[in-house]
A and B are shown apart, each in its own frame.
Chain A
Amino acid sequence: EIVLTQSPATLSLSPGEGATLSCRASQGISSLLAWYQQKPGQAPRLLIYDASIRATGIPARFSGSGSGTDFTLTISSLEPEDFAVYYCQQRSNWPLTFGGGTKVEIK
Chain B
Amino acid sequence: QVQLVESGGDVVQSGGSLRLSCEASGFIFSNYGMHWVRQAPDKGLEWVTFIHYDGSNKYYADAVKGRFSISRDNAKNTLYLQMNSLRPEDTGVYYCAKERESDRLFEYWGQGTLVTVSS
Chain B residues closer than 8 Å to A97, beta-carbon distance: 47
The residue from A1, A49, A87, A94 contacting B59, defined by CB atoms under 8 A apart = A94
A98 at the interface (CB under 8 A from B): yes
Binary B-proximity of A27-39 (CB < 8 A = 1, otherwise 0):
0000000101010
B68 at the interface (CB under 8 A from A): no
A101 at the interface (CB under 8 A from B): yes
Binary A-proximity of B49-81 (CB < 8 A = 1, otherwise 0):
010000000011110000000000000000000
- Interface residue count on the B side (C-beta < 8 Å): 21
Chain A residues closer than 8 Å to B60, beta-carbon distance: 95
The residue from A38, A49, A94 contacting B105, defined by CB atoms under 8 A apart = A49
A12 to B5: give the CA distance in the assembly, Å.
34
Instruction: State the A residues within 8 Å of B (CB).
Output: 1, 34, 36, 38, 43-46, 49, 55, 87, 89, 91, 94-101
Instruction: State the B residues within 8 Å of A (CB).
Output: 35, 44-47, 50, 59-62, 95, 100, 103-107, 109-112
